[in-house]
Amino acid sequence: MKIAIAQINPTVGNLTGNSNLILEAAQKAASAGANLLITPELCLLGYPPRDLLSVPSFIAAAGEKLHQLAQDLPPDLATIVGTATPNTNAVKQGGKALFNSGVLLEGGKVKQIFHKRLLPTYDVFDEDRYFEPGETSGYFNIGELKIGVTICEDLWNNEEFWGKRSYAGDPIADLVKLGVDLVVNLSASPYCASKRQVRSAMLQNSAQRCALPIVYANQVGGNDDIIFDGSSFAINRNAQLIRVLASFKTDFAIVKYDETKGDLMGDSLHNESAIQDAPLSFDPPEGDAEIWEALVLGVQDYVRKCGFYRVVLGLSGGIDSALVAAIASCAIGPQNVLGVLMPSPYSSDHSVNDALELAKNLGIAIEMLPIGDLMKGFDRALADLFIDTTFGIAEENLQSRIRGNLLMAISNKFGHLLLSTGNKSEMAVGYCTLYGDMNGGLSVISDVPKTRVYSLCNWLNSGGSALKLPANGEIIPRNIISKAPSAELKPGQIDQDSLPPYDILDDILRRLIEEHESIAQIVAAGHDEAVVKRTVQLVMRAEFKRRQAAPGLKISDRAFGTGWRMPIAKAAFY
Amino acid sequence: MKIAIAQINPTVGNLTGNSNLILEAAQKAASAGANLLITPELCLLGYPPRDLLSVPSFIAAAGEKLHQLAQDLPPDLATIVGTATPNTNAVKQGGKALFNSGVLLEGGKVKQIFHKRLLPTYDVFDEDRYFEPGETSGYFNIGELKIGVTICEDLWNNEEFWGKRSYAGDPIADLVKLGVDLVVNLSASPYCASKRQVRSAMLQNSAQRCALPIVYANQVGGNDDIIFDGSSFAINRNAQLIRVLASFKTDFAIVKYDETKGDLMGDSLHNESAIQDAPLSFDPPEGDAEIWEALVLGVQDYVRKCGFYRVVLGLSGGIDSALVAAIASCAIGPQNVLGVLMPSPYSSDHSVNDALELAKNLGIAIEMLPIGDLMKGFDRALADLFIDTTFGIAEENLQSRIRGNLLMAISNKFGHLLLSTGNKSEMAVGYCTLYGDMNGGLSVISDVPKTRVYSLCNWLNSGGSALKLPANGEIIPRNIISKAPSAELKPGQIDQDSLPPYDILDDILRRLIEEHESIAQIVAAGHDEAVVKRTVQLVMRAEFKRRQAAPGLKISDRAFGTGWRMPIAKAAFY
């Protein structure tokens, strides 16, 4: 038996487009003689549909589209489609109005429906907001074969792997009791750095314990702040990865189930000995390459799915905007990227030269709009009101906001999407200007700590990306990497006047934000107490800025975005 | 037996401050001879604590504070404190790490703990993100009396009242089976218009059906976008309201349980005959007065809890900024409100005069900062780039953004909180400028439709509020109310050039947003199909603006804010 995996890139709300992606994969599967096609979780709707799930006419339209799809699919191909289905018992028995379902379509009809049982509510997930959990796990037959169906989180309650239970129920254990031969999983598992390895290791553990092969179909693509990496795979009953699909790309694969051996095999592209000898791995490798591809996909899909074709961003001559310009160039082509230089009297000459060199290296167009006169204009407008006050945050922020206005004027005039270039370290401590450099439709690196920004730029210069290295061998001019980071909002200013060195700051922030460590724990790890306390205070105070930030591409376990829900008006409890 | 209700206004995260509020109420209760004190849901932490619940050191500190509180409370007063308690079984059995609990403190100790069973996940609620539902309902004894404990949503699964079940379990039915004499409820029930009547009617229905008296203690106060109105009450077993606490104010009350009659009685302030003859009602009455008080409290608490003392806002001469200036004057005193007039060459003379008259009526300070020169400055800066283009959205938005910059400069320089003045109708269709008039720490009327803005201003002028009416009898100058609404961003512009008349727009928006009606349903209600389609399209497209909006005070069933979770990058499914 042949099982096809459709690693597709749906768009939220685009029922017709998503349905067509499923149809295309189905036609490919049928041509290759596959018996079964697995699609990602909720892929008919696009994940995450969020409050579109509360719109009755959307749910009704999705129901109609599903039945149309059943009729349009190749009749002999069993296809499991991820979508939301109504919980008709909700009114009488209580519970949410919908299920998160895998619907088995075959012969023009809905044959069977399976409901997701474990509904995540942590991080970016709100599934209890919309869905009633399924009560039992089930399977369907293809010939003699019993195929158990699970949806994403259903396979994540692996007590042995995590050292703790997250839910009372355990669908895979129930499927073992039902005597299934194979488990398929429809997923929309968001990307974060190294998540691919965690997923496969966890499911290899499950496959081993349960002696069950697993076919895992994940969504790919960017949707607002959340990136799905794809990286679907198949594991045999000996817990070997026998097939790994591309990361950060639409992909399609077929695996074979050998009824005699009672196990999954690689497809024709991989012979068995190759599987045994060289364990498969994900491409690109972990680290900078992986994060780079994630960010490129995130920009590409946000631009495309929002209906834009070109982007604009401010080029300060600093490393953050340099990295974002490079990502954008790779995502939508340098010909679609406009860099705007907006030097002030506090800008150093090298800032302008560095930015110009970067633009040349990338092949992007630039505009130069000096802001000195506008600064004077605001000074004059505010002169009476600000009399006898000293230059400070108000004047520094004004420069950033003048730039923000110019960029938005260009965005509005020419229809370019404005990209915001702040990094995670800045967003954490509020070292950024609301309505200034925070302006933009998408915040490209707001989940990338400053230390990782450096590492990505060095990796770029080593030729790691698809971007063509210029003759001098450097995409990001060396001076941009080597100079002391500065907002250049007053003479001689550098970031380290206000902040601890970034390697220290980033370690404190990681412990605080991702590891939930207390001040005492962070100090115990070797950090200066005063620095830690000051950092925690800055993070707490900057919540009002983050609340109004553009969506930022999530690449970490805990990004400031959908999965970060902190009150603004609060007292420090530290 | 006497039962005290502590309708307090906690601050999220302020464990010491909240603990002190509970202690103060407890001392008052003890002095009055009360046997039992009921506090609001999670009031030791402040509601909603949101992701502070994921911070282990916060939970640990709350645990310590609870034990301290037990020792500090009057020893003979039984006190039920709302707080989060650890779910120690979570690691082994699966489930969330915390319970949402009512903890009975007495004699210096924790005597009993009751867990919330029904966890809301709709609208602004995310309780499944943090809490494990309690499995059973329970009671405690005071003498012979059995007092059943419920927490907020536990009493909302009233199938008879709503015509549908929302949850499988029904705590009050279980308490009836346990034979309790009385039910208490710890609540943090967010305000929306007319919610007070819904709450009391629903619980009167429950009291009647179950023949059980109910004491309902609700939190009061603003916390970011969510306002809690208080409006706590007590209902006797005949479903009569026997005590109603103040709305939008901290309050305290004592009700008596008469063991002989087996029912609740009013306290000394209300004799029985008064209760029988004149049903109690909430103060202020429904409608403009109620919404006004809610907005005043929301501003007051956001300013205070964020550590500000003064506010600044732009005064355009239009009705929205006029209303916000009036709300702010009432909330924190006119002496703490600064209005900034920023006329452009497109501003009409009457705009400036209307704004000046308003400021005079309210007694607030003003500054005048004309923006004509700054507009010319931006025109010059962008002249080469914008050559051969026509005046449009880019130029209109620039005016709004210049004003936004000036206001933020004043905010930064003097430490005033900037209030944003856009209404819900504008926020819905995107008739507002991101990084311009949307700037601000709090969006005061972003959940108030334009038609309600008019109604509130007329009510103000009728002398409804605590604001002193000026000699001419009008707080909001008549011309501000009577002139055609205009953004004044180009000559002769009025809102109705771009939008349908506000009475039509607001009805379409209410149907779409609050009632989840489809285009077909809205058209069937008598609206023009083209207008409806255009409106729906505008609402969907404006999501990127709303995502970056300041928190906006929620006064409706469905506000753009915590309870509105729409994707940005999406395809129209209509």
CA distance B128 to B124: 12
Low-confidence ranges of chain A (pLDDT < 50): 268-277
Nearest CB to A51 within list B12, B410, B564: B564
Do A488 and A396 meet the contact criterion of CB atoms below 8 Å apart?
Answer: no
Residue of B nearest to A516 (CA): B55
Q: Looking at residue A498, what is its pLDDT?
A: 87
Distance CA B403, CA B52 (A): 35
Give the DSSP per-residue string, A180-214: -SEEEEEE--B--TTHHHHHHHHHHHHHHHHT--E
- Identify residue B413 by its one-letter amino acid code: K
Is residue B121 within 8 Å of B52, Cβ to Cβ? no
DSSP letter (8 states) at residue B387: T
Q: Do the chains contact at A574 and B57, CB–CB below 8 Å?
A: yes
Q: Is B116 a catalytic residue?
A: yes
pLDDT of residue B263: 95
From chain B, pick out residues whose CB is under 8 angstroms from the CB of A551.
547, 568
pLDDT on residue B274: 43
Contacts (Cβ under 8 Å, ≥6 apart) of A133: A115, A116, A117, A118, A119
Residue-wise burial string across B216-255, b where 16 or more C-beta atoms lie within 10 A, e elsewhere: bbbbbbbbbbbbbbbbbbbbbbebbbbbbbbbbbbbbbbb
**Pick from B55, B168, B567: CB nearest A224:** B567
Of B93, B223, B408, the CB nearest to A165: B93
Cα distance between residue A68 and residue A61, in whole Å:
11
CATH 2.40.50.100, domain A289-499+542-547, yes or no: no
User: Which phi and psi angles does A245 have, rounded to 5°?
Assistant: -90, 170
Region of A141 (left: φ > 0; alpha: ψ -120 to 50; beta: rest) is: beta
pTM higher than 0.95: yes
- Could you read off the pLDDT tens digit of each residue along chain B, which spans 574 residues? 999 999 999 999 999 999 999 999 999 999 999 999 999 999 999 999 999 999 999 999 999 999 999 999 999 999 999 999 999 999 889 999 999 999 999 999 999 999 999 999 999 999 999 999 999 999 999 999 999 999 999 999 999 999 999 999 999 999 999 999 999 999 999 999 999 999 999 999 999 999 999 999 999 999 999 999 999 999 999 999 999 999 999 999 999 999 999 999 875 444 444 444 457 889 999 999 999 999 999 999 999 999 999 999 999 999 999 999 999 999 999 999 999 999 999 998 899 999 999 999 999 999 999 999 999 999 999 999 999 999 999 999 999 999 999 999 999 999 999 999 999 999 999 999 999 999 999 999 999 999 999 999 999 999 888 888 887 779 999 999 999 999 888 888 888 888 999 999 999 999 999 999 999 999 999 999 999 999 999 999 999 999 999 999 999 999 999 999 999 999 876 5
* 465-524 in chain B: CB under 8 A from chain A: 516, 518-520
Q: Which of A27, A35, A31, A38 is nearest to A1 (CA)?
A: A35
Asked whether the beta carbons of B80 and B33 are under 8 A apart, the reply is no
Query: Which of B65, B106, B127, B152 is labelled catalytic?
Result: B152
Using a CB-CB distance cutoff of 8 angstroms, which residues of chain A are in contact with residue B302?
A: 569
What distance in Å separates the CA atoms of residue A376 and residue B279, rounded to the nearest whole number? Answer: 65
pLDDT for B208 equals 96
Q: What is the CATH topology of the domain spanning A2-283?
A: Nitrilase/N-carbamoyl-D-aminoacid amidohydrolase (3.60.110)
A515 to chain B: closest CA residue? B55
Closest C-alpha among A487, A488, A486, A480 to residue A361:
A480
Cα gap A68→A59, rounded to integer Å: 14
Compute the distance between CA of residue B86 and CA of residue A178 in angstroms, rounded to an integer. 35
Question: Of chain B residues 390-409, which have a CB less than 8 A from chain A?
Answer: 392-395, 397-398, 401-402, 404-406, 408-409
From B51, B222, B377, residue closest to A373, measured CB to CB: B377
Whether B223 sits inside 8 A of A121 (CB atoms) is no
CA max distance for chain B:
88
For A527-571, the pLDDT digits (tens) are: 999 999 999 999 999 999 999 999 999 999 999 999 999 999 998
What pLDDT does B272 receive?
43
Question: Which CATH superfamily, name and number, covers B291-499+542-547?
Answer: HUPs (3.40.50.620)
Q: Residues with Cβ < 8 Å from B482, sequence gap 6 or more?
A: none
In this structure, the number of other CB atoms found within 10 A of the CB of residue B179 comes to 9
Output the CA torsion A555→A560→A565→A566 (10° steps): 140
Give the integer Cα–Cα distance in Å for B360 and A471: 68
- For every residue of B296-330, which 3-state class applies, written as one string? HHHHHHHHHHCCCCCEEEECCCCHHHHHHHHHHHH
Residue position matching structure tokens 């990136």: A227
- Residue A127, SS3 per DSSP: helix
Query: Which phi and psi angles does A531 have, rounded to 5°?
Result: -65, -40
- Annotated catalytic residues of A are 41, 116, 152
Cβ B544 vs Cβ B568: under 8 Å: yes
Half-sphere exposure at residue B300, Cβ-oriented, CA atoms within 13 angstroms: 21
Q: What is the pLDDT of residue A573?
A: 60
- C-alpha to C-alpha distance for A566 and B130, rounded to whole angstroms: 13
Assign 3-class secondary structure to B517-550: CCHHHHHHCCCCHHHHHHHHHHHHHCHHHHHCCC
Per the omega criterion (within 30 degrees of 0), is the bond before B49 cis? no
Q: Where are the domains of chain A?
A: 2-283, 289-499+542-547, 500-541
- Residues A306, B569: C-beta atoms closer than 8 Å: yes
Give the closest residue to B153 by CA, choosing from B139, B172, B176, B135: B172
Please name the residues between 150 and 189 in chain A that touch chain B, using a CB distance below 8 Å.
Answer: 157, 164-169
Q: Read off the DSSP letter of residue B336.
A: G
- Residue of A468, A37, A45 whose CA lies nearest to A253: A37
DSSP letter for each residue of B71-136: HHS-TTSEEEEEEEEE-TTHHHH-S-SEEEEEEEEETTEEEEEEE------STT--GGGTBPPPSS
> Cβ distance B229 to B247 under 8 Å?
yes
Which residue pairs, CB below 8 angstroms and at least 24 apart, start in B203-206?
B203/B155, B203/B233, B203/B235, B204/B235, B204/B239, B204/B240, B204/B241, B205/B158, B205/B160, B205/B161, B205/B239, B206/B155, B206/B158, B206/B161, B206/B172
Contacts of B160 (CB under 8 A, 6+ apart): B205, B209
pLDDT for residue A267: 56
Nearest chain B CA: its distance from A50 CA (Å): 6
For the record, the structure tokens of A408 come out as 């938005």
Can you list the alpha helix ranges (DSSP code H) found in B383-514?
393-414, 424-429, 450-461, 478-482, 502-509
Residue A229 CA to residue A194 CA, distance in Å, equals 11
Identity of the amino acid at B141 = N
Asked if the C-beta of A552 comes within 8 angstroms of chain B's C-beta atoms, the answer is no
Whether the upstream peptide bond of residue A48 has omega within 30° of 0, thus cis, is yes
Number of CB atoms found within 10 A of residue B526's CB: 8
Helices in A211-255 by DSSP H: which ranges? none
Are B205 and B176 within 8 A, CB to CB? no
